Amino acid sequence: MSEDPPFGGPVAGIAAGVSRLSTDFVAVLSVDAPRSARLLPALYSAVESSTSDCAVVRSSDGFVQPLCALWRKTSLLAALDALGDPRDKSAKSLLRHAKSVAEIAGNGDERDYDTAAELSELGDVQL
């Protein structure tokens, strides 16, 4: 599933995808952070055991990673609705529309790889 219109940014992609899911929780993961799915159990524990709308990773360098998150679907839909047109909106702006956000500490699996040289650090990876 791709965002509509094309090149509308990650929030537009999230909006396009969530409308087609029939789950209680929605994982929001960046494709350039290939190990981020390993954090889903900890994200699930954080959001499921609280009243938070979502759980998000705070990386070791102190930055919140909105593209490494797990949302309650109803909360994500409400945040998207409050945000309005998702085109060219940042993922952090989506987080600002959550009523409550749980944070977990990153362990390095949230790291993104922006170049082929960085990706080669992972070893044998098929593109």
Rounded to whole angstroms, the Cα distance separating 66 from 4 reads 20
Instruction: Using pLDDT thresholds of 50, 70 and 90, give the confidence band for residue 74.
Output: very high
pLDDT(68) > 80: yes
**Which tokens hold the place of 89?**
């909106």
Tell me the pLDDT of the chain averaged across its residues. Answer: 90
Supply the pTM of this predicted model: 0.90
Give every CB contact of residue 115 below 8 A, 6+ residues apart in sequence: none
How remote is the C-alpha of 3 from its chain's centroid? 15
In degrees, to the nearest 5, what angle opens at C-alpha 74 toward C-alphas 30 and 23? Answer: 70
pLDDT band with cut points at 50, 70 and 90 for residue 5: low
pLDDT at 96: 94
- Mean pLDDT, rounded, for 48-64: 94
Domains observed in the chain: 10-107 (3.90.550.10)
Mean pLDDT, rounded, for 5-17 = 86
35-52 confidence digits (pLDDT tens):
999 999 999 999 999 999
For residues 100-113, b (16+ Cβ closer than 10 Å) or e, as one string? ebbbbebeebbbbb
pLDDT of res. 7: 75
Q: How confident is the model at residue 122 (pLDDT cuts 50, 70, 90)?
A: confident
Residue 20 token pair: 């087609």
